[in-house]
Amino acid sequence: MAAQTPTEALKKLSVNDAPGAAEKAGSNGAPSGANAEHDEDSDDDADEVAAQGGAGGESGAAKKKKKKKKSKSKKKKPTAQSDPPRVLVSQLFPNNTYPHGEEVEYLDENRFRTTNEEKRHLDNINNDKTADFRHAAEVHRQVRQWAQKNIKPGQTLTEIAEGIEDGVRALTGHSGLEEGDALKAGMGFPTGLSINHCAAHYTPNAGNKMVLQQGDVMKVDFGVHVNGSIVDSAFTMAFEPQFDNLLAAVKDATNAGVREAGIDVRVGEVGAAIQEVMESYEVEINGTTYPVKSIRNLNGHTILPYSIHGTKSVPIVKSNDMTKMEEGDVFAVETFGSTGNGYVHDDMETSHYARVGDAPNVALRLSSAKQLLNVINKNFGTLPFCRRYLDRLGQEKYLLGLNNLVSNGIVEAYPPLCDKKGSYTAQYEHTILLRPTVKEVISRGDDY
Ligand SMILES: [Co+2]
């Protein structure tokens, strides 16, 4: 989910002129560290054989099989993901053996961390949290790879969003329908499906009839959380080759940001690295060549428990923000490229909301607002939600109450963020853990 640069901070930005059509930075063959083979059949085949080989002599081996057959009355556990994805990821990876993200060793003055005893101890203390992030990341990978295969022009945005959300809820084992269930695990924030000039925070509200078109560029940005540990990761889909360079620019820029990030690194330097890569690209669309610009008022961000936007930002243009990345920080590194102004504004109907963490204690006079706040507290806490999530909980006619919570500063509205009409924008995003011993790109997959 995108963080928007506050206007105050934006004034301080020293934005470079686009460095022209500089030579392309070498494409960085991003390693695909994650994704262990999780779909290979394993020892359960033995059960299968046992089940079939009913009659026959009872050799020692057969006896053993027979013994296994007894436990067969329990339902056979699947060992591969289904299509659509419905198999619990905790069942595919029992005992918290979730695949690691891409682990990148620290360099230079931080090289000692790889083997340092104290840092390893600190790292071990966080094992449970790290497992929650890996669990959420594996759900994200499995659902998004299914989405990448199945999303096609002609589908409605509603069916695309629901397909992703049904997958995430099934794979975490939390439908989110019973009170408090969505707080245990599930969607970390709503499925953003932002098209063309819209860069972020668009998801259909009830009754939306929008259909994905062949010529569209769609950002798919969704979050998965387990016990409040949110993995925030996004990719872009296009169906025409003329957009390849736009997508390549943004993927490359995000990987540059991921590479640059580390303990003691200043976020402004990360922004400079991102912008340099991003703006070394150009893209030809319908016969016109455009420079790819970093969208200067969007940025990455830290992630805190149950809170998608922490206190630190990662600019995607050069800036003199001297804030340091620190040990233990979790960052969403996300970049946005545009053929338009490289600047977004609020546009269209709002769908995304989140309760403010340190909300003012206002005496609400509107009973519908009070009632709705209770629903939000019990089901989402400070996790972002969208109007569809209220609909599926059976809430009706809540808009007045919702707007009242927004105007009282208790809930924040996140309207869609769009560049100028006719432009195209793309996004890629990864979540990284700055563990004491190693940087873990938790959401890395063999797709991006
Ligand atoms: Co984000």
Q: How far is the CA of 3 from the centre of ligand 1 (A)?
A: 6
What's the gap in Å between 1 CA and the centre of ligand 1? Answer: 3
108 Cα: distance to centroid of ligand 1 (angstroms) = 29
Q: Do the annotations mark residue 260 as ligand-binding? A: no
CA distance linking residue 126 with residue 78, whole number of Å:
30
Task: Check the annotation: does 309 bind a ligand.
Answer: yes
Give the residue among 276, 285, 318 at the shortest CA–CA distance from 425. 285
- Residue 47's pLDDT is 39
Structure tokens at 68: 């296994």
Residues of the chain with pLDDT under 50: 15-72
State which amino acid sits at residue 22. A
Domains of the chain as residue ranges with CATH: 127-344+420-441 (3.90.230.10), 350-414 (1.10.10.10)
Burial track 407-445 (b if 16+ CB lie within 10 A, e otherwise): ebebbbbbbbbbbeeebbbbbbbbbbbbbbbbbbbbbbb
Which residues are the active-site residues? 221, 232, 301, 309, 334, 429
| 345 labeled binding residue | no
- Any known ligand binding at 221? yes
Check residue 307 and give its pLDDT. 97
Distance 62 CA to ligand 1 centre (A): 55
Q: From the CA of 141, how far away is ligand 1's center (Å)?
A: 16
- The pLDDT value recorded for residue 27 is 39
Centroid of ligand 1 to alpha carbon of 334 (angstroms): 6
Q: Is 47 annotated as a binding residue?
A: no
**The pLDDT of residue 90:** 97
- What CA–CA distances, in Å, run from 95 to 92, 132, 216, 331? 10, 12, 42, 26
